[in-house]
Structure 1
Amino acid sequence: MTLLDIQNLDITLSLPNGPLHVVRDVSLSLAKGEALGIVGESGSGKSMTALALMRLLPRSASCTAARMAFDGQDLPALDGPAFTAAIPGPKIGMIFQEPMTSLNPVYTIGRQMTEAAVARGLLSVPEARQKAVALLDRVGIPDPQDRMAQYPHQLSGGQRQRVMIAMTLMLDPDLLIADEPTTALDVTVQAQILDLLDDLRRERQMGLILISHDLAVVAQRTDRVAVMYMGELVEQGSAQDVLFEPRHDYTKALLAAIPRLDGPPRHAGDSAATDEVIAARDVTRRFTSRKGLFGPKRETLALDGVSLSVKRGETLALIGESGSGKSTLARILLGLDQPDAGEVRMLDRPVADLAPTDRAAFVQPVFQDPYTSLNPRRRLAEIIARPLVLRDEGDRASRLAAVEEAMERVRLPARLLHAYPSQLSGGQRQRVAIARALVTRPQALICDEPTSALDVSVQAQILDLLDELRRDMGLTCLLVTHDMAVVHEVADRIAVMYRGRIVEEGSAEAVLSNPSNDYTARLLAAAPRFGETAEDRQVAR
Structure 2
Amino acid sequence: MSDTNAVDVVDLDFSYAKLHGLDPVPVLEGVNLTLARGSRCLIIGANGAGKSTLLQILAGKRLTRSSAKVLGAEVFFNTPKGVTYLGTEWATNPVVRSDLEVSHFLDSVGGYRYKERRDKLLDILDVDLSWHMHQVSDGERRRVQIVSGLMAPWDLLLLDEVTVDLDVLVRSRLLDWLREETETRQATIVYATHIFDGIDSWPTHLSHIQLGSTLPPSPLAWPLSPADAESLLPESVRVRMDDPNRRGSKLLEVALHWLVEDRKKRVEKEIADLGREKRGAQEANISSEAFYRKYDYSH
Q: TM-score, normalised by structure 2?
A: 0.68
- Could you tell me which residue of structure 2 aligns to residue 64 of structure 1? 65
Change (3 A) 1:252 1:70: farther
Is 1:94 matched up with 2:79? no
Q: Output aligned runs, 1:72-471, within 5 Å.
A: 72-78=72-78, 83=79, 87=80, 90-101=81-92, 104-106=96-98, 107-117=100-110, 125=112, 127=113, 132-141=118-127, 144-147=128-131, 150-151=132-133, 153-217=134-198, 219-235=200-216, 236=218, 237-241=220-224, 245=229, 247-248=231-232, 262=245, 394=289, 396=291
Distance 1:6 1:42, change over 3 A: same
Q: CA deviation at 1:75?
A: 2.5
State the Cα distance separating 1:133 from its structure 2 match.
4.3
Q: How far apart, in 2, do the equivalents of 1:91 and 1:224 lie?
A: 21
Whether the 8 Å CA contact 1:234–1:248 is kept in 2: the answer is no
Query: In the alignment, residue 56 of structure 2 is paired with which amino acid?
Result: L
8 Å Cα contact 1:114-1:128 kept in structure 2: no
Q: 1:396 to 1:108 in 2, by over 3 A?
A: farther
CA contact (8 A) 2:102 2:129 kept: no
1:52 and 2:44 equivalent?
no
Q: Distance in 1 between matches of 2:91 and 2:239?
A: 32
Structure with higher RCO (Cα < 8 A, 6+ apart): 2
Deviations 1:117-173 (A, max 9, x none): 37xxxxxx4x456753442222222xx3323xx11x322222222222211111111
**Offset from partner CA, 1:226-279 (integer Å, 9 cap, x none):** 101000011331112289816457x99999999x99469xxxxxxxxxxxxxxx
Name 1:268's counterpart in structure 2: none
Query: Could you tell me which amino acid in structure 1 is paired with residue 125 of structure 2?
Result: V
Conserved in 2, the CA contact under 8 Å of 1:99 and 1:160? no
1:173–1:206 contact (8 Å) kept in structure 2: yes
The structure with more radius of gyration: 1
- Which residue number corresponds to residue 306 of structure 1? none
What amino acid does structure 1 have at the position aligned with 2:155?
D
For the Cα contact (< 8 Å) 1:34–1:208, is it kept in 2? yes
Q: How far apart, CA to CA, are the structure 2 residues paired with 1:74 and 1:169? A: 23
Partner of 1:41: 46
Indicate the structure with greater strand content.
Answer: 1
CA contact 1:97–1:181 (8 Å) conserved in 2: yes
Q: Indicate conservation of the 8 Å contact 1:135/1:166, yes or no.
A: yes
Over 3 Å counting, the alpha-carbon distance change for 1:246 and 1:173 in structure 2 is farther
> Which position in structure 1 is the counterpart of 2:11?
8
Distance (whole Å) between structure 2 residues aligned to residue 228 and residue 242 of structure 1? 20
- Which amino acid is the alignment partner of residue 113 of structure 1? L
- Alignment partner of 1:240: what SS? coil
Q: Distance in 1 between matches of 2:53 and 2:225?
A: 22
Structure-2 change in CA distance of 1:188 and 1:53 (3 Å): same
Counterparts in 2 of 1:91 and 1:146: CA distance versus 1, 3 Å: same
- Equivalent AA in structure 1 for residue 65 of structure 2: T
2:10–2:31 Cα contact (<8 Å) kept: yes
The aligned amino acid for 1:196 is W
1:278 corresponding residue in structure 2: none
Cα distance in 1 for partners of 2:136, 2:61 equals 26
What TM-score results when the alignment is normalised by the length of structure 1?
Answer: 0.40
Q: 1:112 to 1:396 in 2, by over 3 A?
A: farther
**What residue identity is the alignment partner of 2:87?**
F
CA shift, 1:29, in A, is 1.3
Tell me by how many angstroms 1:217 deviates.
5.0
**Cα distance change of structure 1 residues 190 and 252 upon mapping to structure 2, 3 Å threshold:** farther
Question: What is the alpha-carbon distance in structure 2 between the residues aligned to residue 263 and residue 37 of structure 1?
Answer: 22
In structure 1, the partner of 2:281 is none
Distance in 2, matches of 1:42 and 1:257, equals 25
> 2: distance between equivalents of 1:256 and 1:109?
49
Counterpart check, 1:29 vs 2:34: yes
Q: How many Å apart are 1:91 and its aligned residue?
A: 0.9
